[in-house]
Structure 1
Amino acid sequence: MDINSLNPQPTNFLTPAVYIVGAGPGDPDLLTVKAQKILAKADVIIFADSLVPQQILVGVRADAEIIPTADKTLEEIVPLMVERVRQGKSVVRLHSGDLSLYSAMSEQIQALINAEITFEVIPGISAFQAAAAALKVELTVPGLVQTIILSRVSGRTGIPDSEDLANLAAIKASLCLYLSARHLEQAQEKLMRYYPSDTPVAVCFRLGWPDEKIWLIPLHEMAQHTKQENLVRTTLYIISPALAASQYHQTARSRLYHPEHSHLFRSISDGQS
Structure 2
Amino acid sequence: MIYFVGAGPGSEDLITVRGQRYLTEADIVIYAGSLVNPALLKNTKEDCQIYNSAYMTLPEVIKVMEEGEKAGKMTVRLHTGDSSLYGAVREQMEELQRRNIAWEVCPGVSSFCGAAAALSLEYTLPGISQSVIITRSEGRTAVPEKESLRSLAAHQATMVLFLSSGLAEEVSRELIGGGYAPDTPAAVVYKATWPEERKFVTTLSLLPEKMKEEGISRTALIIVGNVIDSGFERSKLYDPCFTTGYRKGMDTQNAGKEKGYESRNDCLQ
If the length of structure 1 is used for normalisation, what is the TM-score? 0.88
Distance 2:118 2:84 in 1: 22
**For 1:111-148, what per-residue CA distance to the aligned partner results, in whole angstroms no more than 9, with x for missing partners?**
01111111101111111111111111111110111110
Following superposition, the deviation at residue 63 of structure 1 comes to: 2.3
Distance 1:90 1:75 in 2: 19
The answer to whether residue 126 in structure 2 is matched with residue 139 in structure 1 is no
The answer to whether the Cα contact below 8 Å between 1:43 and 1:64 also exists between their aligned partners in 2 is: yes
Distance 2:229 2:112 in 1: 17
The answer to whether residue 189 in structure 2 is matched with residue 204 in structure 1 is yes
- Tell me whether 56-65 or 179-188 shows the greater mean CA deviation: 56-65
Residue matched to 2:98: 114
The answer to whether the Cα contact below 8 Å between 1:26 and 1:56 also exists between their aligned partners in 2 is: no
Matched letter for residue 206 of structure 2? E
Residue matched to 2:236: 255
Corresponding residue SS for 2:155:
coil
The answer to whether residue 247 in structure 2 is matched with residue 266 in structure 1 is yes
Please, which runs of 5 or more residues in structure 1 have no aligned partner? Answer: 1-16
- 4+ runs of 1 displaced by more than 4 Å? none
The answer to whether the Cα contact below 8 Å between 1:26 and 1:53 also exists between their aligned partners in 2 is: yes
Distance 2:225 2:188 in 1: 12
Corresponding residue SS for 2:166:
helix
Count of residues in correspondence between the two structures = 253
Following superposition, the deviation at residue 272 of structure 1 comes to: 4.2
Corresponding residue SS for 1:256:
helix
Following superposition, the deviation at residue 209 of structure 1 comes to: 2.0
If the length of structure 2 is used for normalisation, what is the TM-score? 0.90
Aligned alpha-carbon RMSD (Å): 1.5
Following superposition, the deviation at residue 219 of structure 1 comes to: 1.4
Distance 2:43 2:128 in 1: 43
| Aligned match for 2:207, one of 222, 228, 234 | 222
Distance 1:260 1:145 in 2: 23
Matched letter for residue 14 of structure 2? L
Please, which runs of 5 or more residues in structure 2 have no aligned partner? Answer: 258-269
Max Rg structure: 2
Residue matched to 1:95: 79
Residue matched to 1:86: 70
**For 1:196-231, what per-residue CA distance to the aligned partner results, in whole angstroms no more than 9, with x for missing partners?**
222221111111222111111121111122233333
